């Protein structure tokens, strides 16, 4: 792999399937203990996956993690309307 750390850029690392499983398990553990994160996942799973993973994932890897998490977490109890309503209120408060 080409290693270019000039200009403060880190080389893109390939993420192995074992790492995908580790990231998936980490996300599941965090979601199970935090209703706020669960709502965030329901509203924008890709953003939350990238945030928790903390590494550069391609779209296919993100999709793979999202599907695995959805298979393990029950999202039916999340009130997405309530979450989006709250998000709208927050955005209007900040004028966005």
Dump pLDDT digits (tens) for 66-87: 999 999 988 777 665 554 555 5
Mean pLDDT for the chain overall: 76
Q: Using pLDDT thresholds of 50, 70 and 90, give the confidence band for residue 2.
A: very low
**Alpha carbon distance 33, 26 (integer Å):** 11
**Overall pTM surpassing 0.75 (yes/no):** no
Environment class of residue 23 by beta-carbon count within 10 Å: exposed (0-12), middle (13-18) or buried (19+)?
buried
In this predicted structure, what is the pLDDT of residue 3?
46
- Please give the share of the chain, as a percent, with pLDDT higher than 70: 64
Judge whether 67 and 28 are in contact, CB under 8 Å. no
């Amino acid at each position: 792999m080409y290693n270019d750390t000039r200009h403060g850029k880190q080389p893109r690392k390939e993420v192995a399937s074992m790492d995908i499983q580790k990231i998936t398990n980490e996300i599941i553990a965090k979601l199970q203990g935090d209703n706020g994160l669960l709502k965030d996942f329901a509203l924008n799973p890709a953003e939350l996956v990238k945030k928790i993973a903390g590494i550069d994932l391609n779209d296919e890897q993100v999709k793979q993690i999202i599907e695995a998490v959805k298979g393990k977490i029950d999202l039916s109890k999340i009130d997405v309307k309530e979450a989006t309503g709250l998000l709208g209120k927050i955005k209007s408060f900040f004028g966005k």
